[in-house]
Amino acid sequence: MASLFGTSGIRGSAKELFTNQFCFDVGRAFGKFLKKYNQKGKVAIGMDSRKSSPRIKRAFLKGLQKEGFKVSDQGILPVPAMNYILIADSSFVGSAMITGSHIRADFNGIKFFALKEEILKKHEREIEKIYKNIREKIRFKPRRVKLKIEGKAIKFYQEMLLNLAKRPYPKWKAIIDVGNGCQVKVMPGVLKKLGLKAQVINDSLQPEKFIPRDTETEEAVKELQEKIKKEKVDFGMAFDIDGDRVVFVDENGNFIPGDYTGSLIAKYSKSPIIICPINASQVVEKIGKKVIRTKVGSPYVVEAMKEYRASFGFEANGGGISAEIMMSRDAGSTTIKILNLLKQSKKSLGELINTLPQFFLYRTKVTCPQELNPIILKKAKKEFKGTKTEEIDGLKIWLSSSLWILFRPSANAPEFRVFAEARTKEKAKKLGLEGINFVKSLITRATAKGEEERMFFD
């Protein structure tokens, strides 16, 4: 069978992959993993607002209970709160979040936390091995499970964010777009307690209003941009569905990619080494610190932070990782750190961002059968020639010292992504479109001519 784990956690079709039996077996596997590391205590479980999440949660926690663990249901909440509860309360030895993050509503996923942090890739392999040995050995029995939802994780998380803030803040006006996702439960309340005059949009947790927001694309914040231009506020912020990513919009309605907020925090952090994936903007190399690049995915960033003893890392999607808080992605602390920098600098968000060199990163993607991924990478390497290539994750080709294109298949979904960066928006878009059109042409040929064409490609 194919690997269970993708870029971060397990993801797939809620109906086809996350059957009750599968979820029960994965719950048992996580329980056995915790026992392997002699972790004795409670396990917390939370979820996002997808329609499938309650069913998956029930089957998963029954697997944990089968292994003898007491399970604490934390309800709907941001995924970083599920990591922070392990730090704030030593009676919890593990946690899991039922979430598919930004992928479409009929898919779902599970993220795992243990040993006080997001599990590493080696831990994923261990859980997968356990799962393969125990799957379908004990049949799932659909008995009703009643657990009272506790509020500990949210309470601990809110307190951490409030304590991180360097109060008092100026009387900023802001628009908070919580994306009908898990930060509905936390960030609007926290920011109002910090004195911001905050207007909140997309604050429903009804499954039918689910927004599969990809925070790496400007299209995801169009509504926020228009509101900021109309209402003349100081800045806006938009969160993804499970609350571990945040991107900003400045006072003029300009989208601020996560690479730039990440680079700002990195610049003023105490960490001499900064960790980020291969797809993040080259702007981080301009802040005067050593930069280590990794594969895309927070577990890879966390692993490298531990290896190089870096205290800060980030991803291009707006997910910052602060070692002094917790070793996993967190939109909440990223938000507070940006607010602290705004207060310290006495600049507007647009002015603060303009202290960094300007690059333009064009991101796009296309639905793609996963069996075509190696073919596309092989063909791209022949078609696009540059001064340097990097194959940390996918294929990154440098056409000059400031112009690059990255071909990268998604590890979570049947998608192929293309990234291009240049000194001008026009150059980045032109190169990105050239790359994605090349990918699309290969997909079209393979689809039209079927196996015969694929054999030709090979």
Based on the fold, state whether residues 347 and 256 are members of the same structural domain.
yes
Q: Centre a 10 Å sphere on the Cβ of residue 141 and count the other Cβ atoms it contains.
A: 9
pLDDT value at position 397? 98
The CATH number that applies at residue 380 is 3.30.310.50
Residue 449: what pLDDT?
A: 66
Question: What tokens does 137 get?
Answer: 């050995």
Residues 339 and 365 in one domain: no
The answer as to whether 160 is a domain residue is no
Q: How many domains does the chain have?
A: 3
**Phi, psi dihedral angles at 24 (to 5 degrees):** -60, -45
User: Could you tell me if 45 and 132 lie in one domain?
Assistant: yes
Residue 414's alpha-carbon distances to 212, 379, 407, 417, 419, in angstroms, are 15, 19, 14, 10, 17
Last-in-domain residue among 353, 375, 394 = 353
Task: Tell whether 24 is covered by a domain.
Answer: yes
- Whose tokens are 């919580």? That residue is 178
What six digits make up the tokens of 149? 């939802």
Q: Is 159 a domain residue?
A: no
Do residue 148 and residue 198 come from a single domain? no
Same domain, 401 and 370: yes
- Residues forming a β-bridge with 256: 248
To 5 degrees, how large is the angle CA 241–CA 246–CA 250? Answer: 130
> Which whole-number Å values give the CA distances from 104 to 4, 127, 241, 390, 391, in the listed order?
18, 25, 11, 30, 28
For 62, counting Cβ atoms within 10 Å of its Cβ (0-12 exposed, 13-18 middle, 19+ buried), the class is: buried
pLDDT of residue 450: 63
Same domain, 389 and 290: no
Query: In this predicted structure, what is the pLDDT of residue 205?
Result: 94
Closest among 108, 105, 92, 93 to 59, alpha carbons compared: 108
Q: Which domain holds residue 391?
A: 360-457
Residue 311 in domain: yes
CA 155, CA 355: separation in Å to the nearest integer? 36
Residue 369: what pLDDT? 93
Q: Is residue 431 part of a domain?
A: yes
pLDDT confidence of residue 455: 46
Do 220 and 339 belong together in one domain? yes
Are 142 and 219 part of one and the same domain?
no
By CB atoms closer than 10 A (0-12, 13-18, 19+), residue 421 is buried
Which of 303, 335, 353 is the last residue before a domain boundary? 353
pLDDT of residue 400: 96
Do 184 and 318 belong together in one domain?
A: yes
Mean pLDDT for back-to-back runs of 10 residues, the chain (458 residues): 83 96 98 97 97 96 97 97 98 97 92 96 96 97 84 97 97 97 97 96 93 87 96 96 96 96 97 97 97 95 97 96 97 98 98 96 92 96 95 97 96 87 97 98 85 46
Residue 241 and residue 343 in one domain: yes
User: Does residue 436 fall inside a structural domain?
Assistant: yes
135: CATH: 3.40.120.10
Q: Do 132 and 214 have their domain in common? A: no
What is the chain's length? 458
Q: Are residues 66 and 129 in the same domain?
A: yes
